[in-house]
Amino acid sequence: MSIQVDLYDRLALNLEADLVQMVNKTSAKGVLIDISAVSIVDSFMGRIIGNIASMSKILDAETVVVGMQPAVAITLIELGLPLKGVHTALDMEKGMRLLKSMIDETEEDADEDQTADDLITE
């Protein structure tokens, strides 16, 4: 999903709810958020992004934020916003690759767990 405007608060909250519902409905494994058109991220927006990541995580989907402008990154750090649990990538393509690798990894883990369980039952 690509955010093309500077969000004001109500819009951001709607986005959060809609996105998490979509993850559930489509049983998505990954969420990619493109914020290259967003010129400021304040503590409220940062918290929304963090919330989306944590909620998606509970629904078993990984979140990658891509396209953050350098000035936004500088400001976020000075503001003191950690953005915990949010993966980031430089652009859309790298973000997709990161998502793919993360999803493959979790599936491999699941397979391994499966075999381990099988061994125990045997």
Partner 1 sequence: MTLSLSKDTIQVIKEQDVVFLKNRVKETAVKIKMGLVNQTRLLTACSELVRNMMRYANGGVCIIEVVSSGRNNGVRLTFSDKGPGIPDIEAAMRDGFSTGKSLGLGLPGTKRLVNEFEIKSKVGEGTVIVILKWANG
**Residues binding partner 1 (CB under 8 A):** 6, 8-10, 39-44, 46-47, 69-72, 74-75, 78-81
CB of 42 to partner 1, least distance (A): 4
Which is closer to partner 1, CB of 72 or CB of 99? 72
| Edge-to-edge strand list for the sheet holding 30-34 | 30-34, 62-66, 87-89
CB of 113 to partner 1, least distance (A): 35
Which is closer to partner 1, CB of 79 or CB of 116? 79
Please name the amino acid found at residue 52: I
Which is closer to partner 1, CB of 55 or CB of 99? 55
